[in-house]
Chain A
């Protein structure tokens, strides 16, 4: 196992009687960019805090490489963290903010100065070192927070929703910078977010959590194309994947009212999943009626009702304006259909 890989073994966290994380086992590849994704309250921040050493594990082990770290203080784990609200020390200059960890670690002054400047350079803050956090913009503060994290040359870099306080444009820029920074310094990065776009764009691998359990842990494209459960299917992708209640009759799958959806062979009740962009508008197919449509410039999203009343989201390049009430027909691309068990939500 790589020296900076993280291994979680049956990690549990309980607050009193509430079990937040009921036994989680996973390996986070050394040098990889791993995103922990999930809705709020799923335990992702708790998990990150436990990796960082800010919260104790109730039971289980955490290993960095071959070292067991769950009993170590944060500073002895060799990891650094970037916080959502920057958490810069308001009374210190940016220079002292970045250099505080080195000062605590008693790094000699001259070396400290050099390392602070290198770190500031790498996030493009060189000229602002003598300002205070209150004199910087949100983006600059976030950079300072990143510089503070990398100045100690950590083997593990932790991010706790670091982009959620920035506006959309800045967020995009910072996302790119973080990806490049990760490639440059080669630390293991663990990034917590509830934003699926961040997860899709940044991650080598995404760990999708729900109620403290891993729902799926795979590459972003795998999560998108082959969701393990209906939860993943609806959580990843915007607009979300369509999930239709249907019945398999051996040679094909039909809606309750008998409309044939696809000729994929299946028998028994089933949840049929299809992404909005994998639905084609064809002259002759599954009939539906437009409920609502919105144009996003590059494409349009249409919400249509099927014969039995279930709604279908369709993403189409078609420039033609659609009016509510208009009827048309669609076809599901065959390779894109995913079938789930209606009871458990798991993939067939």
Chain B
């Protein structure tokens, strides 16, 4: 059979070039703009394709004059928490769903899936209320059971438990982490494993927990790494919720800090070159991570045991 591979190659090449150009153009513009000084930018009258020589100077200002370096650390911690919590919960939940059959499995699975359909952006106000006082359900429970009334009689004063997680790493990370998309990926992977594996482990005397740690975890390493990376970057780029949950600049992640950089003085033209330098600074870590882990990610999302 003779195929016109040349024609296919050529078409593929053209499509690839268009795609690369589409993705790279904004990045190139960001780089170019970041190389201008504020004065050069203002006199040029907006974003263009001019090359300047102030790139290093802008970067230096980002590091020394803004809060971005500290906020970069916040981003790292929050993203690690988001990815870690997501992977840990999805892994254990999927383990239970796949290896332990129960009549209620489909209900549990549906509920798990439902979290995907309720993104955080939709629930920001409720989530804020809960994070502002995580003891709220406890108070409510005490109220319902009458224990609150009882303690009021004994102590003489009404007591409300209060524990706010606003402005904390965990308070920012937890709500972002509560979605179960990875369950799909892990489920497919677990189902591709030999069915007799858990049975063999049971015969060897391993408890379900041991099976999970000794057998399942090492086997799932590739999909785990891939999804971890995925959620790390997902946590890194979160904007709305961290903006709401972290009011002080010290607790804000870099993406929020970057946005704050834009509107410091309302009557001045924003320092776009500095902003662009900041954007490049903030995206540096995810880009490096993707570059390094590229192969792992592709292999892990391939959903097969290798």
- Find out whether the CB atom of A75 lies under 8 angstroms from the CB atom of B219: no
Residue of B197, B200, B206, B215 with most partner-chain A CB within 10 A: B200
Q: A87-B194, A89-B215 are in contact. Are A74 and B205 (CB under 8 A)?
A: yes
Whole-angstrom distance between the Cβ of B118 and the nearest chain A Cβ: 34
- Find out whether the CB atom of A101 lies under 8 angstroms from the CB atom of B194: no
Task: Report the number of A-B residue pairs with Cβ-Cβ less than 8 Å.
Answer: 57
Chain A residues numbered 96-121 whose CB sits less than 8 Å from any CB in chain B: 100-101, 104-105
* A 78-102 to B, binary, CB cutoff 8 A, 1 in contact else 0: 0111011111111100000000110
- Does A185 lie at the interface of the complex (its beta carbon under 8 Å from any beta carbon of B)? no
Partner of B203, one of A54, A84, A88: A54
- Find out whether the CB atom of B205 lies under 8 angstroms from the CB atom of A101: yes
Q: Which residues of chain A come closer than 8 Å to B219, judged between CB atoms?
A: 90-91
- Find out whether the CB atom of A89 lies under 8 angstroms from the CB atom of B197: yes
Whole-angstrom distance between the Cβ of B195 and the nearest chain A Cβ: 8
- Does A52 lie at the interface of the complex (its beta carbon under 8 Å from any beta carbon of B)? yes
- Find out whether the CB atom of A101 lies under 8 angstroms from the CB atom of B204: yes
Complex Cα–Cα for A153 and B35 (A): 74
- Does B199 lie at the interface of the complex (its beta carbon under 8 Å from any beta carbon of A)? yes
Partner of A75, one of B203, B214, B305: B203
Q: Which residues of chain A come closer than 8 Å to B218, judged between CB atoms?
A: 91
- Find out whether the CB atom of A81 lies under 8 angstroms from the CB atom of B203: yes
Complex Cα–Cα for A73 and B214 (A): 19
Whole-angstrom distance between the Cβ of A269 and the nearest chain B Cβ: 48
Complex Cα–Cα for A80 and B206 (A): 13
With CB as the reference atom, state the residue of chain A lying closest to B103.
A16
Complex Cα–Cα for A83 and B215 (A): 17
Partner of A105, one of B196, B199, B205, B215: B205
- Find out whether the CB atom of A104 lies under 8 angstroms from the CB atom of B194: no
Chain A residues numbered 31-72 whose CB sits less than 8 Å from any CB in chain B: 52-54
- Find out whether the CB atom of A100 lies under 8 angstroms from the CB atom of B197: no
- Find out whether the CB atom of A75 lies under 8 angstroms from the CB atom of B199: no
Question: Which chain B residues have a beta carbon within 8 Å of chain A's beta carbons?
Answer: 194-197, 199-206, 210, 214-215, 218-219, 305
Question: Which chain A residues have a beta carbon within 8 Å of chain B's beta carbons?
Answer: 52-54, 73-75, 79-81, 83-91, 100-101, 104-105, 148-149
Which 4 pairs, one residue from A and one from B, show the smallest C-beta to C-beta distance? Answer: A75-B205, A87-B196, A101-B204, A87-B200
Interchain residue pairs with CB less than 8 A apart (27): A54-B202, A73-B202, A74-B202, A74-B205, A75-B203, A75-B204, A80-B203, A81-B203, A83-B200, A84-B196, A85-B195, A86-B196, A87-B194, A87-B196, A87-B199, A88-B200, A89-B197, A89-B200, A91-B215, A100-B201, A100-B204, A100-B214, A101-B205, A104-B204, A104-B205, A104-B210, A149-B203
